Every structure is written in structure tokens, then in C-alpha cells.
Amino acid sequence: MATYDYDIGIIGGGAAGLTVASGAAQLGARTLLIEKEKELGGDCLHFGCVPSKTLIRTAQVYHTMKNAQAFGLPAIEMPPVDFVKVKERIQSVIATIQEHDSEERFCSLGARVELGEPAFVDEHSIHLNGQRISSKNWVIASGSSPQIPPIEGLHKTHHITNKDIFSLDHLPASMIILGAGPIAAEMAQAFCRLGTKVHVVQRSGQILSKEDRDMADAVTQVLAAEGVIFHLNVAVLEVRDAGDGKEVRIQNKDEEVSTLKAEQILVAMGRSPNLEGLHLEEIGIEFDGKGIKVDKRMRTTQKHIYAAGDITGAYQFTHAAGYEGGIVVSNAIFHLPRKADYTFLPWCTYTDPELAGIGMNEKAAKDAGIEYTVFTETFKDNDRSLAEENKTGKIKMLLDKNEKPIGVQILGPQAGELLGEWIAVLNGKVKLSTLAAAVHPYPTLGEINKRVAGAYLSPKIFSDTVKKGLKFFFHLKGRACGSGEGR
């Protein structure tokens, strides 16, 4: 039997790689974790989820202070934002979380951490820092990077991405964001709230293109009302440095050309897999521009080499990367043939209001040819939401033709948190009657979950048949007011 230096080698110390490393090492596998940067944690910790959510919170506080009058408080003249202080707060949150993702912690769990950029030399071995290292199994978890599309002039014009935006040395006076996905929408609102004049440029007529139109358009309206300027249905013709700012030439559907000018250009137009230097083509691993091809057990076209996280190009979320990392541990270490199932993978865009979802939205159901019915409740009918000055948003629950829930989307305050109940309901196959009957504390935002389940059940409970039955058995006398009865 062939002998190897390690049982499992992992390339990439982000959400996916760290999950595999911690699971495998704690189960007694001889584990090697390789990271090319100086610190573990990956994009989520250093340039993604953590800094973005920290910035969003700062912007939210500033926005609330500026809008103090809406809460019956005196108006305040707010001084401008010092982005260096904001940056310091972001760095301090990263540093606190970094301790959990430190080399020492992984060493204490039993995993060896090596820094560097490996290249495969055969199906079981890599070359790293002048050494040849072999492993029985490998996991490629090298993540993704911002995609820079081939727009005329973009490559030679200074622009920023998520790698730079959290460490700027001052707040830009103006910014053009190319793209309108979750990262673009979150950053547009946060920077606008902090005082930057923000333009969002998007090829299609909708932001957050995977979401249902009504939900995405509601986000657009909120952001536009706060001052974000949207340019939808436009093509970017050219980008150039005009000396005193950067210019983006755009063309609308009527072929009218106009030029936007700003201090910074943020490129948020999708992600590219980090494949460079790994030499995957030489060991027969299939990949394309989106990422590495995997089966449901996260195995690449070389069955002992797995891939997990953004590198597969599928569901580019930290929780998806962690989930896939767990699937790898089951298959590679436990030898349990566990398959990834994304039916109820939740997601959330952290604009204010947040837009969260699980399962199918209307767009996905239509694409899949599934018949569905939609039940909705609005936040303007939720007492807690009104008390907190949130009047925007709604919940949408989709049922299939057998009246089984197939998806839920929530646009509203703390939508990501509110989705938690649906994660349990959908994964646990909990009946809607159980959710509708369960007592929820008053007044909470969570009551909206109970109410939408109730909206489905109400017509059944209060039907004419039920009323007739009760009248027949218990001699109920009917309406006491309205419809001409009882008066």
C-alpha cells in the first residue's frame, strides 16, 4: 500500500479549508493546511463578510443619528465621517475574530499549517517552498477573487475591489459601483449613508438579479430614496482616468451615451476562481471559468481530490463553504458517502432592509416549471416593526400544489435572523399548523412568520363549511354586526 506524508492536505485557509482542517485533525487524520497569505481566515474574515458587516453597522448608526427626528428626538448636525476611525473599528473586529482562526489554534487541534503557494506535481503530491509533500487526499479550497471584466480602459484605470474598500485612507467623495449584486448593493448603501455620492451601474433592469423582481425593486427604492443613483439597463462602454477623477461612459437602451465621474470606481461584477499556479490541468482535474467541477460528494474528476467553497463557483457564501467542508470530512475521513443538498440553503443580503431567502423564490419556481401559490404579510402590519420605525418590506411564503412550503423570502428588518425559524421549519418538515399555533412573544418581528403561516390556514379554518357545521351542531346565531345582520 502506498504511503503518504499526510492523510489529508488542504489548499486554502478560508471558511471551507478551515472547516475541513478542524474536522479532519480532531478526528485524528494527519492534516496539512496550506495558506498563501500571512494569516488564516480567507476572504470572509479579511475582505468580505466581517469587514462589510462591520462597516454596514457603522453606517447604520450614523444614518440613524442623522435621522434622529424620525424617532421624536432633536435634529443633530452630524460632523463628517473620519474613515480612518471606521477602518480602525473594522480592523479591530477582524483582529478579534482572527484569534479563532489562528495558526496556533489549528496547531492545537492537531493540524500542521504551512504558508506558501503549492503546485501539484502528480495526483498525490505538491511542490511547496522547495519541498515535495504527498497526501492520500487533497482538498482544494482556494476561494475566489473579484472578476475584472474586459471593459475598455478598466485595466489601466485605477479601481478598487472588496480587497481595498475596507482599508481606504479617507471616505471617497464619490464612487461609481460597477455591478449590482449583493456586495454592490450593500456597499452602495453603506457608503451613501456615510456621505459618499454613489452611482450604481447595472447592465440589466434589476439589481440583485437572482431575487424576485418585487423584492429587488423594493431594495432599489429604499436605496434610491437614501440618495444612491441607479443607472439600470446600461452598458459600460469605457472607463478612463480623467486626472481629477475617473470617468465611466455608459450607454442606455436608446443608445444615448452619458459620462459619470467619481473619485473611485468599485468593481463588483462577479467572482473568478483562484486556480492560478495549482497546475490542475496537469493532473486531470476539470474546471472552467466558474470553477472546479465537483460531484455531489464534492469530489473532483480525481476522486481522492475534493473541492469546496467558492472555488466550485456554485453557492458563494461562507455558510455554503462550511457546509461543503463538512461534506468533504464525511466522505474523505469517515468514508460515509454524504452528498451536498442545497434545497434549503439560506442566503441574505445585508442591506437595510435585509433581503433573506431559503428554498425557491418565484423566479426559481417558474424556471423549474413548478406550480406554486404565494402568501404574504407586510411589516407595516407588524407592531414591533412600526414601533421601530420600519414600514418597508414583506414576507413571501411559496407553497407547491400539495400545499408544502418550498421557499420563503423576507425583505425587512433583521430578515436574516427571522429566516432562522424557517430554516428549522423547512429542514425539520414542521407543519405550517405547528408554526401558526406556536405562541410567539409580542411584540416581535418574528410574529410575521406565524402570521404568514396563519394566512394560509385562515381560509380553511374560517371557511363556510366550518361555519355551517358549527351552526348546525352548536346553533351559533351568525354575524352580530355588518352585512345587514344583527342590525
Binding residues for ligand FAD (CB under 6 A): 11-17, 34-37, 42-44, 47-49, 52, 117-118, 141-143, 162, 183, 274, 277-278, 309-311, 316-319, 321, 350
Rounded to the nearest whole angstrom, what is the least distance from the CB of residue 367 to ligand FAD in the complex? Answer: 23
Cβ burial, residue 52 (10 Å; 0-12/13-18/19+): buried
Residue number with the smallest Cβ distance to ligand FAD? 14
Q: Residue 110 or residue 416: which is nearer to ligand FAD going by CB? A: 416
Q: Residue 277 or residue 284: which is nearer to ligand FAD going by CB? A: 277
Distance of CA 356 to the CA centre of its chain: 9
C-alpha cell at 377: 404579510
Is the separation of the CB atoms in 64 and 226 below 8 Å? Answer: no
- For 266-319, the DSSP string reads EE-S-EEE--TTS-GGGGT--B-SS-B---TT-B-SSTTEEE-GGGGSS--SHH
Q: Residue 47 or residue 106: which is nearer to ligand FAD going by CB? A: 47
Rounded to the nearest whole angstrom, what is the least distance from the CB of residue 24 to ligand FAD in the complex? Answer: 15
Is the separation of the CB atoms in 338 and 324 below 8 Å? Answer: no
Q: Residue 142 or residue 206: which is nearer to ligand FAD going by CB? A: 142
Rounded to the nearest whole angstrom, what is the least distance from the CB of residue 12 to ligand FAD in the complex? Answer: 3
Rounded to the nearest whole angstrom, what is the least distance from the CB of residue 13 to ligand FAD in the complex? Answer: 5
Rounded to the nearest whole angstrom, what is the least distance from the CB of residue 425 to ligand FAD in the complex? Answer: 21
Q: Residue 119 or residue 232: which is nearer to ligand FAD going by CB? A: 119
Rounded to the nearest whole angstrom, what is the least distance from the CB of residue 44 to ligand FAD in the complex? Answer: 4
Q: Residue 408 or residue 452: which is nearer to ligand FAD going by CB? A: 408
Q: Residue 134 or residue 274: which is nearer to ligand FAD going by CB? A: 274
Residues 6+ apart with CB under 8 A from 474: none
Rounded to the nearest whole angstrom, what is the least distance from the CB of residue 200 to ligand FAD in the complex? Answer: 15
- For 102-138, the DSSP string reads -HHHHHHHTEEEEES--EEEETTEEEETTEEEEEEEE
CA trace torsion 151, 153, 158, 159 (10° rounding):
-20
What type of residue is 266?
A: L
Q: Residue 37 or residue 417: which is nearer to ligand FAD going by CB? A: 37
CA distances to 9, 140, 297, 330, 466 from 306, rounded to whole Å, are 10, 6, 8, 12, 57
Rounded to the nearest whole angstrom, what is the least distance from the CB of residue 274 to ligand FAD in the complex? Answer: 4
Measured CA to CA, the distance from residue 160 to residue 478 in angstroms comes to: 68
CA trace torsion 176, 181, 184, 189 (10° rounding):
110
Q: Residue 118 or residue 446: which is nearer to ligand FAD going by CB? A: 118
C-alpha cell at 270: 462577479
Measured CA to CA, the distance from residue 56 to residue 352 in angstroms comes to: 9
Q: Residue 117 or residue 217: which is nearer to ligand FAD going by CB? A: 117
Any idea what the Cα angle at residue 377 is, between residues 376 and 378, rounded to 5°?
125
Rounded to the nearest whole angstrom, what is the least distance from the CB of residue 316 to ligand FAD in the complex? Answer: 4
Rounded to the nearest whole angstrom, what is the least distance from the CB of residue 110 to ligand FAD in the complex? Answer: 20
Rounded to the nearest whole angstrom, what is the least distance from the CB of residue 279 to ligand FAD in the complex? Answer: 10
Which helix (H) or strand (E) segment holds residue 437: the answer is: helix 432-437
- Identify the three-state secondary structure at position 225: helix
Q: If you ran DSSP here, which 8-state letter would residue 75 be given?
A: P
Measured CA to CA, the distance from residue 364 to residue 266 in angstroms comes to: 29
CA distances to 18, 44, 313 from 164, rounded to whole Å, are 24, 14, 22
Q: Residue 45 or residue 448: which is nearer to ligand FAD going by CB? A: 45
Order the strands of the 174-178 sheet from edge to edge.
Answer: 229-231, 197-201, 174-178, 264-267
Q: Residue 250 or residue 418: which is nearer to ligand FAD going by CB? A: 418
Which helix (H) or strand (E) segment holds residue 46: the answer is: helix 42-47
Rounded to the nearest whole angstrom, what is the least distance from the CB of residue 483 to ligand FAD in the complex? Answer: 51
Measured CA to CA, the distance from residue 132 to residue 129 in angstroms comes to: 9
